[in-house]
Amino acid sequence: QKEVEQDPGPLSVPEGAIVSLNCTYSNSAFQYFMWYRQYSRKGPELLMYTYSSGNKEDGRFTAQVDKSSKYISLFIRDSQPSDSATYLCAMSASSSASKIIFGSGTRLSIRP
């Protein structure tokens, strides 16, 4: 079993819809949780960074962590075609960047 599981998609939704992207994990020691957005032929771009459980909101994006279920989510409200990208979750037990485990990414397409 992989430490981090992420549905590869592709996920296609109409413009304006609410998008829910999810990851599950097996290591209960993970405390740092991240979401990256990666456009085609570009490097990953950090979207959200959270520590421990709870919600964090930034504009149209909300990151949610449920440590009891070992489940994290990224919600995108009022989705736009420019949100079309691959979204990678990542997590770590320590603040050391060398210990970050990435999901394989979910490919998202927003239809105009």
Partner 1 sequence: SAVISQKPSRDICQRGTSLTIQCQVDSQVTMMFWYRQQPGQSLTLIATANQGSEATYESGFVIDKFPISRPNLTFSTLTVSNMSPEDSSIYLCSVVSGASNEQYFGPGTRLTVT
Q: Please report, as ranges, the residues that interact with partner 1 according to CB under 8 A.
A: 4, 6, 8, 34, 36, 41-46, 49, 88, 95, 97-98, 100-105
Please state, in angstroms and as integers, the Cα–Cα distance from residue 60 to each residue in 17, 43, 74, 97, following that order: 11, 22, 10, 26
Shortest Å, Cβ 55 to partner 1? 19
**In angstroms, what is the minimal distance from the CB of 14 to partner 1?**
25
Q: Which is nearer to partner 1, 9 or 53 (CB)?
A: 9
Nearer to partner 1, 38 or 53 (CB): 38
d(CA 54, CA 110): 27
Distances (CA, A) of 21 to 71, 84, 99: 11, 13, 23
What phi and psi values does residue 103 have, to the nearest 5 degrees?
A: -75, 170
Q: Which is nearer to partner 1, 4 or 76 (CB)?
A: 4
